[in-house]
């Protein structure tokens, strides 16, 4: 009977843990969905909590089973007797797992990004943060693919957050023009196309407007070996709009350059071949 009693306790503990995990995750998910706009600033915390609740519940269930099941007393005694060795073995084997958990906790505390932010991780990954768990984060890239990145890797990477305080983007759009081209004409074309785009923001203050500062600034930023580089500073509402603005302006400016006879140069090299004639004497 004692053996059956132990099995029943294990079964009941597991059922309670599974049910509690399911119910709590549903409650948190429903709360987030219902009050998404009100708690947008804390969405990261709730997402992290939702994905951590199962880990906490099943750890508690495992501790309960070990402490309250008579048949596991020997295992409990052995575990405590060899706690030091076991901790060393587990610690060595689970270094990456613990690094991911600690990384997830640091993300929750320091908030380098939140759920819904547009981020660049290093030079490889870019997308919208969809979920943050104890082990990893999930971002959706612009091909609608989900990228799962362990938290330990994120801790070692440089993160560019396009949404953390101000979603506006100052987009640099650059064009190379020929040395013989009319630079003033090229700058006027770029400025006209950039300022007339429907997604271009006017970020000027009232004082700047009164002083005649243009909506889009065009500057000569470099003199290259084969061209002069012009840069347009275009403001957009967010990263998505900035991408669309850049694509549209690139197309329109190239079309205008062709119409006006302004050439976009490309790198080239002159190769000189010398023929050497050998003279022999007899």
According to the model, what pLDDT value does residue 47 have?
A: 62
According to the model, what pLDDT value does residue 14 have?
A: 77
Name the residue ranges covered by the structural domains of the chain: 2-161, 169-260
Q: In which element (H, E) is residue 59 found?
A: helix 43-68
Which of 4-13, 80-89, 162-171, 187-196 shows the highest mean pLDDT? 187-196
According to the model, what pLDDT value does residue 19 have?
A: 83
71-85, 162-176, 178-192, 219-233: least confidently modelled range: 71-85
DSSP annotation of 254 reads: H
According to the model, what pLDDT value does residue 80 have?
A: 57
Three-class SS state of 235: strand
Query: Is there a contact between 194 and 170 (Cβ–Cβ < 8 Å)?
Result: no
Return the bridge partners of 231, or none.
Answer: 174, 219
Q: In the predicted model, what is the mean pLDDT of residues 70-83?
A: 57
Instruction: Give backbone dihedrals phi and psi of 241, rounded to 5 degrees, phi first.
Output: -65, -40
Place of tokens 């269930």: 61
| DSSP string of 82-131, one letter each residue | THHHHHHHHHHHTHHHHHHHHHHHHHHHH-SS-TT-EEEETTTEEEEEEE
Token pair in block for residue 62: 């495992």
According to the model, what pLDDT value does residue 41 have?
A: 45
Report the chain's mean pLDDT, rounded to a whole number. Answer: 81
Token pair in block for residue 43: 């969405």
% of the chain exceeding 90 in pLDDT: 39
How far is residue 9's CA from residue 64's CA, in Å, rounded to a whole number? 10
56-65, 67-76, 261-270: least confidently modelled range: 67-76
Q: How confident is the model at residue 123 (pLDDT cuts 50, 70, 90)?
A: confident
pLDDT at 94 over 80: no
| DSSP string of 76-88, one letter each residue | HHHHHHTHHHHHH
Q: In the predicted model, what is the mean pLDDT of residues 160-184?
A: 91
Q: How confident is the model at residue 15 (pLDDT cuts 50, 70, 90)?
A: confident
According to the model, what pLDDT value does residue 46 have?
A: 60
pLDDT digits (tens, 9 = 90+) for 206-235: 999 999 999 999 999 999 988 999 999 999
pLDDT digits (tens, 9 = 90+) for 124-148: 899 999 888 878 899 999 999 999 9
Q: In the predicted model, what is the mean pLDDT of residues 232-239?
A: 95
pLDDT at 40 over 90: no
How far is residue 249's CA from residue 9's CA, in Å, rounded to a whole number? 69
Strand 146-150 versus strand 169-177 pairing type: unpaired
Q: How confident is the model at residue 32 (pLDDT cuts 50, 70, 90)?
A: low
| DSSP string of 177-208, one letter each residue | E-TTS-HHHHHHHHHHHHHHSTT------HHH
169-260: which CATH number, 3.40.950.10, 3.50.50.60, 3.30.70.580, 3.30.70.100?
A: 3.30.70.100
Query: Is there a contact between 216 and 253 (Cβ–Cβ < 8 Å)?
Result: no
Place of tokens 């050497």: 276
Instruction: Give backbone dihedrals phi and psi of 129, rounded to 5 degrees, phi first.
Output: -70, 120
Entry field: residues in the chain: 282
64-73, 158-167, 224-233: least confidently modelled range: 64-73
| DSSP string of 14-25, one letter each residue | HHHHHHHHHHHH
42-46, 119-123, 227-231: least confidently modelled range: 42-46
Three-class SS state of 184: helix
Q: b/e string for 40-51 if b means 16 or more Cβ within 10 A?
A: eeebbebbbbbb
pLDDT at 186 over 70: yes
75-89, 156-170, 172-186: least confidently modelled range: 75-89
pLDDT at 18 over 70: yes
């Amino acid at each position: 009977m004692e053996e059956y009693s132990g099995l029943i306790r294990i079964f009941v503990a597991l059922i309670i843990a599974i049910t509690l995990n399911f119910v709590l995750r549903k409650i948190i998910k429903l709360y987030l969905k219902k009050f998404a706009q009100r708690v947008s600033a804390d969405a990261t915390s709730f997402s992290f909590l939702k994905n951590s609740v199962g880990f906490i519940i099943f750890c508690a269930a495992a501790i309960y089973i070990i402490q309250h099941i008579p048949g596991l007393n020997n295992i409990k005694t052995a575990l405590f007797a060899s706690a030091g060795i076991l901790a060393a073995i587990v610690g060595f084997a689970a270094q990456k797992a613990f690094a991911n958990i600690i990384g997830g906790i640091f993300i929750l505390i320091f908030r380098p990004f939140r759920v819904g932010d547009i981020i660049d991780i290093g030079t490889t990954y870019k997308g919208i943060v969809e979920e943050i768990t104890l082990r990893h984060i999930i971002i959706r890239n612009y091909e609608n693919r989900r990228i799962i990145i362990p938290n330990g890797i994120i801790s070692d990477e440089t993160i560019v957050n396009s949404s953390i305080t101000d979603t506006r983007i100052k987009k640099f759009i650059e064009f190379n023009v020929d040395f013989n081209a009319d630079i003033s004409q090229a700058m006027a074309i770029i400025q006209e196309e950039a300022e007339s785009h429907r997604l271009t923001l006017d970020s000027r203050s009232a004082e700047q407007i009164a002083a005649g500062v243009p909506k889009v600034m065009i500057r000569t930023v470099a003199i290259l070996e084969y061209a002069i580089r012009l840069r347009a500073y275009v403001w957009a509402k967010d990263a998505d709009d900035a991408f669309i603005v850049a694509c549209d302006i690139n197309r329109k400016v190239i079309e205008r350059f062709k119409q006006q006879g302004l050439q976009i140069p490309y790198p080239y090299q002159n190769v000189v071949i010398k023929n050497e004639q050998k003279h022999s004497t007899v």
